[in-house]
Amino acid sequence: MIQKFSSSILIIDDNPDILTSAEMFLEENFSTIISESDPTRISSHINKSNIDIILLDMNFRKGEIEGYEGIFWLDKIKSDYPDMLVILMTAFGDVELAVKGIKKGAFDFITKPWKNAKLLATLISAHRFIESQREKNKFKNQSELLTKTITQNYSQVIGESPAINQLKETLQKVSETDANVLLLGKNGTGKELAARELHRMSNRKNEAFITVDLGAISETLFESEIFGHVKGAFTDAKADKPGRFELADKGTIFLDEIGNLSYNLQSKLLTVIQNKKLTRVGSSKEIPIDVRIICATNMPLKDMIEQGQFRQDLFYRINTFEINIPSLKDRIDDIPLLAEHFLNQYKAKYNKPDLKLDDHVIRQLKNYDWPGNIRELKNIVERATVLSEGKTLEINLQVLPLAYSSKDKDNSGNLNLDENEKHLIIQAIEKNNGNITKAAKELGIQRNALYRRIEKHGL
């Protein structure tokens, strides 16, 4: 059984024998074939049957050989349905007329009487073109949806502290330019979020935002991943592949962990940034690129320059604007907003809609030093969401060691009732790995009573 192509074909010709012949031949290869002798009914067929390809005769009136009618209907079709594929048919092989039709938007032409193999090949070519366009549009739509989703997820810089308000103001100003930006800050402070915010507010917001973790790409794969390669460039290069810079063309590329890039690869990156051109591995053809570059690192690049570990010329290329992202301990007042934000995310994810933050939990979070910054806060809130058994978020105090000083643990010889109660509570909580329910049970009190004592002692 012959596998039929899925395209629907409309054949327009005033000769019934031509219509019958074409229909009988093509119905073996295509899913839908519709014949029509009256070109005024073209729109009706397109709207009713979702036509993909039109096979259009150039002459309709008896004795007409100039092809003007065909050109007229071609213009009409392309005006009303710009994406419609039209293949012209002419009985006289008028190349000049056919070329005119191609210039006006026809996909191809064939001459009558046609050879079946030629007709079939032309229509299959049109079918494959349609499929490729559908795939392209599908990818574009998916990309737009993904970009929208990513923007929704990452475009919030949460907080109202002086440090974060200053950051928001700086991001707003810098986003209005195309200047390269270097984001500095400790791990977990939200450098990628800041990069996405810069892109979201820029003139490139409707184009691609491509992220590259330079610390995760090996030296051997760097050029292929970043600049792309052509088929046959190396053993596994079975097809042409664009690199990250090409994918980011007209948009933004975010180079994370720029400080981890080796000195040799720094020079190759510098060349592309300076020339605004790249060459795929295995090719000699230069490809122009228009990309805004945002880099990020937690490493001291200026010290690395003095030590000969980072190129000074590359440093000046990537930090037209240098923005420092504040650590979480420098924006303690934002912790309640951040914790609430993450809790709302994980309540939905783990189906715990009634879970809430208590004041004593907020105090615990604000008393912590946060070496892992926002990333650590997010992880702790997620873990607490999963483990909490009631309607109140229960933080695992074992992961918050700085909330309790060593002097609290050494109470030997101290007969002060409050101090000893505080000491016992700390011991019980740490012994039970932060599980408030188990700690309360071991202390012989209700969980709510333990919470009141935790609040009383400012734990």
DSSP string of 137-159, one letter each residue? HHHHHHHHHHHHHHHHHH-----
Query: Which region, left, alpha or beta, applies to residue 326 given φ > 0 means left and ψ of -120 to 50 means alpha?
Result: beta
The one-digit pLDDT tens for each residue of the chain (459 residues) are: 556 888 899 999 988 989 999 999 998 889 889 999 999 999 999 888 778 999 998 876 654 556 678 888 999 999 988 889 999 988 765 667 778 888 899 999 888 888 899 999 999 999 988 888 777 665 655 565 455 545 544 447 889 999 999 999 999 999 999 999 999 999 899 999 999 999 999 999 988 899 999 988 888 889 999 999 988 888 878 778 888 999 899 999 999 999 989 999 999 999 999 999 999 998 888 889 999 999 999 999 999 999 999 999 999 999 999 999 999 999 999 999 999 999 999 999 999 998 999 888 898 899 888 888 999 899 889 988 988 888 888 886 444 443 443 344 445 555 566 677 777 888 887 777 667 777 777 787 776 677 677 767 766
Say if residue 336 is preceded by a cis peptide, omega within 30 of 0. no
**DSSP assignment letter at 92:** T
State the Cα–Cα distance between residues 154 and 173, nearest whole angstrom.
19
Range list for CATH 1.10.8.60 in the chain? 332-456
CB-based burial, 226-240: b 16+ in 10 Å, e otherwise: bbbbbeebeeebeee
d(CA 114, CA 97): 17
451 near 360, Cβ under 8 Å?
yes
| Residue 81 contacts residue 72 (beta carbons within 8 Å) | no
Enumerate the CATH 3.40.50.2300 domain ranges in the chain, comma separated. Answer: 5-131
> Residue 390 CA to chain centroid, in angstroms?
37
Q: How far is CA 398 from the centre of its chain?
A: 36
Q: Regarding the domain with residue range 5-131, which homologous superfamily does it belong to in the CATH classification?
A: Response regulator (3.40.50.2300)
Would you tell me which CATH number, out of the four given (3.40.50.2300, 3.30.1490.20, 1.20.1250.20, 3.40.50.300), belongs to the domain 155-326?
A: 3.40.50.300
What lies within 8 Å, CB to CB, of 164 at 6+ separation is: 157, 158, 326, 331, 334
Dihedral sign computed on CA atoms, order 185, 186, 191, 193:
negative
Overall fold of domain 332-456: Helicase, Ruva Protein; domain 3 (1.10.8)
Chain mean position to CA 203: 17
Q: Is the pTM of this model over 0.75?
A: no
Measured in Å, how far apart are the chain's first and last C-alpha atoms? 77
In three-state secondary structure terms, 380 is helix
